Structure 1
Amino acid sequence: MPTSPTSPATATDSPSTDSASRATGAPPEILLELVDEHGTTIGTAEKLTAHQAPGLLHRAFSVFLFDERGRLLLQRRALGKYHSPGVWSNTCCGHPYPGEAPFAAAARRTHEELGLSPSLLAEAGTVRYNHPDPASGLVEQEYNHLFVGLTRTAPRPDPEEVGETAFVTPAELAERDASAPFSAWFHTVLDAARPAIRELTGPAGGW
């Protein structure tokens, strides 16, 4: 059930909660920030609860990082993840803790998952969507803050979060998309971020 807004400190996992979650195979209990259709905070809910059908609208973020050649960094989500395991997606996706700024959350989570800090990270608007995941039955009801940026270092992914990474051109992305599964939200967030991506990479980038 949704609760009243919670401070970032109380939203993080405690060691005992995280250990118990690993022992039972359940994801650790993490609180997400619930929002209305305008992105205004209205409360919090446990992460898995927020994603169970029909889904609770919550705040999220998506990051798109590019290298010096204008190639997009993709990640394939680890097979052990309970939501959308083993599928390709954009550089990094996640949820701010209640009260945490989306920009700070995007930078934090990019480092946690991929072991890198962007040399540039900029806001790229927001997008609201409702995407069921047929494989898991979970639902992404998200008010998503978009970020684009540059990286000059090779990723060092956490294997519990990321199974594989790849830098791709637009043509290589199309080829991969035709032969491998992508996250349900990938094309929605990519299309919403395209104006900022084109401004970042220039017309020669082809995005």
Structure 2
Amino acid sequence: MTTEEHVVLVDGDGNRIGTAPKTLVHGAETPLHLAFSSYVFNHDGSVLLTRRADHKITWPSVWTNSCCGHPLPDEPLDQAVTRRLSYELGLSVERVDLMLPSFAYRAVMANGVVEHELCPVYRVVVDAREAPNPDEVGETRWMPWKEFADGVRNGLLSVSPWCREQVPLLEELGSDPLSWEPAPRDELPPAARV
């Protein structure tokens, strides 16, 4: 018997206020909850993009950043990033770097389903090729960071709403994603400082 996965619910100040089953939090009244986004780069500075699987509840079939997910209750965010990259993309990573510690967003799909997340953003650099899990990922594509960022900023690339908001903030860190300076861990919201 498997245990249902829970997400961490947070208040507007990023404090943990409880947990809820993951299957129940994405609807018309989605509560603010803890999540993460990650951007995987190779040593040439290209970013790995993923097209979300067709059966995803939120933004199915939409292109987005490399991997998103939710930490389990009491799981450090960097470990959640590592776990999900392994599960979704077959990537084994040694290090993840915190880039945007307090990113948050709320987005509404055409069908009324809401995504509402406190979603720190991470950078990961890999040597290996991805092996997408079809339960999570419909397709992958590598793209030079500048081409991708320009395309998102100029509206030439259609991406998830969180990715569209994150890219300009990442661009502010500099033109070379491999040289971005990581943010201090103590800038994470309280609920993420496990």
- TM-score category of the 2 structures, normalised to the smaller one: 0.7 to 0.9
Correspondence 1:33-72 to 2 at 5 A: 33-72=8-47
Q: Which residue of 2 aligns with 1:171?
A: 147
Which segment is superposed worse, 147-156 or 183-192? 183-192
Corresponding residue pairs, total: 177
Equivalent residue, structure 1, for 2:109: 133
How far is the alpha carbon of 1:128 from its aligned partner? 1.4
- Alpha-carbon deviation of 1:106? 0.7
| Shift, 1:55, TM fit | 1.8
User: Once the two structures are superposed, what CA deviation does each residue of 1:148-176 show, in whole Å capped at 9, x if it has no partner?
Assistant: 12011000011111111111122256558
Give the Cα–Cα distance (whole angstroms) in 2 for the partners of residues 50 and 82 of structure 1.
Answer: 11
Provide, for residues 62-93 of structure 1, a one-character-per-residue CA deviation record: whole Å limited to 9, x for no partner: 00111111011100111122221111010100
| Equivalent in the alignment of 2:129 | 154
Which amino acid in structure 2 is aligned with residue 191 of structure 1? P
Paired position in structure 2 for 1:11: none
Tell me the CA shift for residue 196 of structure 1: 4.8
Deviation at 1:180, TM superposition (A): 5.8
Percent identity of equivalent pairs:
33
CA contact (8 A) 1:126 1:192 kept: no
Native 8 Å contact 2:64 2:159 kept in 1: yes
> Does structure 1 residue 190 correspond to structure 2 residue 167?
yes
Q: Could you say if the C-alpha distance between residues 173 and 164 of structure 1 is closer, same or farther in structure 2, counting changes exceeding 3 Å?
A: farther
Q: Structure 1, residues 108-134: CA drift from partner, whole Å, max 9, x if none?
A: 001100000235411112211111122
Deviation of the 1:46 alpha carbon: 2.1
- Opposite residue 70 of structure 1, the aligned amino acid is G
User: 5+ residue gaps in structure 2?
Assistant: 181-194
* Pairing 1:81–2:56 present: yes
Change in 2 beyond 3 A, CA 1:103/1:195: farther
SS of residue matched to 2:35: strand
| TM superposition shift of 1:146 | 1.1
- Shift of residue 195, structure 1, vs aligned partner: 4.3
For residues 93 and 172 of structure 2, what CA distance do their matches in structure 1 show?
Answer: 19
Q: Say which SS state the counterpart of residue 149 (structure 1) adopts.
A: strand
Give unpaired runs (5+ residues) of structure 1: 1-13, 18-28
Q: Report how far residue 145 of structure 1 moved.
A: 1.4
- Larger displacement relative to structure 2 (152-161 or 169-178): 169-178
TM-score normalised to structure 2 length: 0.80
Which structure has more relative contact order (CA 8 Å, sep 6+)? It is: 2
Give secondary structure in 2 for the equivalent of 1:110: helix
For 1:141 and 1:108, the matched residues in 2 are separated by 22
* Length-normalised TM-score, structure 1: 0.76
